[in-house]
Structure 1
Amino acid sequence: MSSIDQSEKKGYGWLVILMIGAFFTVLSTTLMSNATPIVMKEFDVSATAAQWLTTIYMLTAGIIIPT
């Protein structure tokens, strides 16, 4: 019976790691979206360029953080 319990715990370990990664991905993308006006001011770029930067950051974070 203990071997079944151990195999179930291993499956939940991966799930916990993925959930933590997903949480940090959502958190970082939310923070980046709120920072768009600051990025526009600091780098002296248009809204379109800042939006592309935010989009690329979100795509990269969505791939890298969970892995």
Structure 2
Amino acid sequence: MKVCVDPGLCQGHTLCAMTAPELFGLGDEDGHAYVLTEAGEVPPELEDKAREAARSCPEQAIVLS
């Protein structure tokens, strides 16, 4: 599974980083989320957290593939 954050949709609500701090960081300037893992790869043990983060995003800015 891969995860990415659409920077055009993210509004910096921080719910993804609270749900899955192993996967998402927050920008210092705007608080917008970004993916911490290399190439957006989600380790199998974090896939449930990635799904929960995507569901919790009010802007639907998190895309799983």
TM-score normalised over the length of structure 1: 0.30
TM-score normalised over the length of structure 2: 0.30
Q: Give the structure with the higher percent helix.
A: 1
